[in-house]
């Protein structure tokens, strides 16, 4: 996903739709993201979890209310019949976690790697003296089932930890596991 442009994805979507399996690698961010991909993985509309923005008007956080909103996505053609495998790492945050929430809740793919960061929501920040910046979210974001997202993230179906030995050997343990999963019937 780091090296594929949206145009290249659009040109290859017929092949992707009919492939046995497709591995989506989220390591290192990318030019292509799941906002472009998920519509081809769904047959019915899907929604993100609720984003809860606190509306605090009383002291000591008494009677806090929440403004709720969420995103929805519509399916696109061609529907990808291929098995979808996603490589995740802890650097998957924010919009990546929103998409992983949809993928997880609607069982759109098998995941390999490490848990995502468990960090989602609109960014608030303050610039402090000496150029330091503090960032936080003013949103309460939970998983679709109402369970905790923050600090937990999304656990992979197939956990993988990098080892020094594999690095020395020039092996990619994440990709090896994703290929193994892709070959399973």
How far is residue 47's CA from residue 40's CA, in Å, rounded to a whole number?
14
How does residue 2 score in pLDDT terms, banded at 50, 70 and 90? Answer: confident
pLDDT, tens only, 59-96:
998 999 999 999 999 999 999 999 999 999 999 988 89
Q: What are the CA-CA distances from residue 179 to residues 38, 133, 147, 149, 182 (Å)?
A: 21, 41, 31, 28, 5
pLDDT, tens only, 128-151:
999 999 988 889 999 999 999 999
This prediction has a pTM of: 0.89
Structure confidence at residue 31 (pLDDT): 81
Residue closest to 154 by CA, chosen among 108, 93, 83: 93
């Amino acid at each position: 996903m780091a090296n594929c442009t949206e145009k290249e994805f659009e040109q290859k979507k017929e092949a992707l739709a009919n492939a046995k399996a497709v591995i989506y690698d989220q390591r290192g961010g990318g030019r292509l993201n799941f906002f472009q991909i998920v519509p081809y993985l769904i047959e019915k509309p899907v929604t993100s979890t609720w984003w809860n923005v606190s509306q605090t008007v009383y002291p000591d956080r008494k009677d806090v209310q929440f403004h709720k909103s969420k995103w929805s996505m519509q399916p696109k053609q061609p529907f990808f019949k291929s098995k979808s495998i996603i490589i995740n790492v802890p650097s998957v945050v924010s919009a990546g976690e929103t998409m992983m929430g949809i993928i997880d809740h609607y069982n759109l793919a098998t995941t390999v790697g490490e848990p995502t960061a468990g960090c989602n929501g609109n960014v608030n920040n303050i610039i402090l003296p000496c150029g330091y910046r503090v960032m936080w979210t003013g949103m309460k974001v939970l998983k679709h089932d109402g369970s905790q997202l923050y600090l937990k993230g999304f656990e992979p179906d197939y956990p993988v930890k990098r080892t020094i030995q594999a690095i020395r050997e020039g092996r990619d343990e994440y990709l090896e596991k994703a290929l193994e999963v892709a070959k399973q019937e």
